[in-house]
Amino acid sequence: MRQALAPVAALLIGVSILLTGQGLQGTLLPVRASLESFSTISIGVMGALYFLGFTLGCLRGGELVRRVGHVRVFAAMTALASAVPLLHGLFVNAWSWGILRMVTGFCFAALFMVIESWLNETATNENRGTIFSAYTVITLTVMAAGQMMLLLQDPENLYLFAVASVLVSLAAVPVALSVAPSPGIPVSVNLDLPRLYRISPAGTLGCLATGFANGAFWGLAPVFTTDLSGDVSLAAWFMTTTVFGGAVAQWPLGYLSDRIGRRKIQTASALGGFGVAVCILLFASGLGMVSIALLGAAWGAFAFPLYAISVAHANDHADPSEYVMVSGGLLLMYGAGAIAGPFVASAMMTAVGPLGLYLFTAGIHALLVIYTLQRIVRRESAPSEEHIAFSDALATVQTASQVYEEEILHSAEADEEGSRQAI
């Protein structure tokens, strides 16, 4: 493992610093918004706008890279993303924060694209799974660490916004000084959503449902814990344990999906998410900090791996020539769900209180269970020998950068074949 990770150590250090700042900011903003008496609906809109910006970044970031290159895009997006937390602290109102969250989402999509393209360029077929597995674990771990930084200072002052800004700025240093070769220039990808649904209905709607549930969680979970207990520290612990649970469960559930079938594990994982959400609905009001944090970890363990499992299932049924379209389309479905999820969940929280968040996620997971069971009855699973490795699916769960990278490969192969025919 050390030999595989050594060439990308600087990039992984950079992403660790970057996502520590992102983790802090992602928890700090909803908590501070709640303390400022922002309405639950407006906080939900902020969460939705972040994912709108992220989706736009995935769709348009490649064009920026094609125009000016990876290094310049990384420098520009880092500078902009590091300024935004300070602007949050200076302009405390819902309208400004909504716009700033959309800018942050766009910036981080472009930053992820650059970093992951770099990782893909450096990795080989022999160590790609190891590199992206480490990358995914690091991503979830440092985001959890960033969320715990909420306990460093009172969220009602500028201190934590400044810390988030500094961390995002420092992330540029190891990436800028990396000796890893700069990746090739990406080309555009044509998406075909009707074709995507025909390839894998369960994978497509699984990604959409995961976007609904997880988008609502990221935007509103800090509000849920703060409103439920009145204790800001609980928000930090709850977010941290939930993310940690998701990180720990990625590999066991992925391994089981390789062995006993994607849709069976997709159903079991969604059923587990539903069950934990119901437990939170029934018991959270009377539980202490430790018990609520443990319930959060259990929910994350079931809910967070669902996207990668859905991606793996869809690719099991896709022709290799369609991997590019499938990866990009599934990301778009996740983004659409993550944009809409905070809107609906915030409305439910306004209607029934903070527990409305988990009433919403319970409903989403229940619908996914019903639909996946229906698909199991109507369509046989792909033979196990046709399954892609779960580690390959895991490499695509962050952004669309894998899509661009694969498209470059296909284009290069086509050019090479054309040259041979000409000769």
pLDDT in tens, 342-380: 999 999 999 999 999 999 999 999 999 999 998 887 766
- In the chain, count H helices and then E strands: 18, 0
In this prediction, residues 193-213 reach a mean pLDDT of 90
Determine contact, residues 312/330, Cβ cutoff 8 Å: no
Predicted local confidence at residue 389, as pLDDT:
57
Q: Which residue has the higher pLDDT, 137 or 182?
A: 137
Distance, CA of 250 to CA of 257 (rounded, Å):
11
Distance, CA of 6 to CA of 314 (rounded, Å):
32
pLDDT > 50? residue 423: no
Predicted local confidence at residue 228, as pLDDT:
81
Q: Which amino acid is it at 375?
A: R
Determine contact, residues 314/258, Cβ cutoff 8 Å: no
Would you tell me how many other CB atoms lie within 10 Å of the CB of residue 385? 5
Sign of the CA dihedral running 310, 311, 312, 318: positive
282: tokens are 């029934």
Q: Which residue has the higher pLDDT, 367 or 410?
A: 367
Total domain count for the chain? Answer: 1
Predicted local confidence at residue 186, as pLDDT:
60
Determine contact, residues 164/85, Cβ cutoff 8 Å: yes
Q: Which amino acid is it at 87?
A: L
Q: Structural domain of residue 7, as residue ranges?
A: 2-422
Predicted local confidence at residue 152, as pLDDT:
87
CATH number at residue 178: 1.20.1250.20
Q: Which residues, in sequence order, are CB contacts of 234 under 8 Å at separation 6+?
A: 225, 226, 228, 289, 292, 293
Predicted local confidence at residue 83, as pLDDT:
94
Distance, CA of 155 to CA of 141 (rounded, Å):
22
Whose structure tokens read 């612990």?
Answer: 237
Would you tell me how many other CB atoms lie within 10 Å of the CB of residue 262? 30
Mean pLDDT of the chain: 82
pLDDT > 70 in the chain, percent = 82
What pLDDT, in 10s, does the model give residues 44-97? 999 999 999 988 887 787 778 778 888 888 889 999 999 999 999 888 899 999
What pLDDT, in 10s, does the model give residues 235-290? 888 988 998 898 888 878 888 887 888 888 999 999 999 999 999 999 988 778 88
First-to-final CA distance of the chain = 42
Q: Which residues, in sequence order, are CB contacts of 277 under 8 Å at separation 6+?
A: 299, 358, 359, 361, 362, 365
Distance, CA of 98 to CA of 123 (rounded, Å):
37
Distance, CA of 233 to CA of 244 (rounded, Å):
17
Report the predicted TM-score, pTM, of the whole model to 2 decimal places. 0.80
